[in-house]
Amino acid sequence: MPPRNEGLGRSFGSLTYARRGGKFDAQLKRWADKTSEDLEYIVLDAAWSVGEAIVGQTPFRSGRAKAHWRFGINSRPGSYEPALRGTIDQAMDPTPLNSYKAGDNIHIYNKAPYVALLEAGMSPQSPPGAMFRDHIRNWDLHLAEAARKNGI
């Protein structure tokens, strides 16, 4: 067995191996922290993209169904008073997303009493499932696009 090379270290790409608690451990921790931040950013970007798509596909007559969409982290959003007319900025308040950490669940919720009917296709403006289910079903595509767009 060759002697251990504890003091000299070896280089692997941008990481340098050194004894435990040394340079390699610090570099590995920085890499893990950066990876976690990148993951959180990709998930948040994808969640916002899904939110935009959902609001955009919500049939519009009075604007109330669009205005009822909300984000929640690890639970449904609490009580809220929606705007009378919905745009992505009014409906999908990004504030709850600020508390997102890797591993959390993001909830997208609408408390309009007739939103399930709209999702079922009761409006001639939107086919069944086009508002919510299709975008959630394509979550992986939203993640891939967020990663590509952000160079991650």
What is the residue-level pLDDT of the chain in tens, covering all 152 positions?
A: 333 344 444 444 554 554 555 677 777 788 777 877 888 889 999 998 998 888 888 888 877 888 888 888 898 776 666 555 545 555 677 778 888 888 899 988 888 888 888 888 888 887 777 788 888 888 999 999 999 998 88
Residue extents of the structural domains in the chain: 10-149
pLDDT confidence of residue 11:
46
Q: Which amino acid is at 133?
A: R
**φ, ψ (nearest 5 deg) of residue 10:** -135, 150
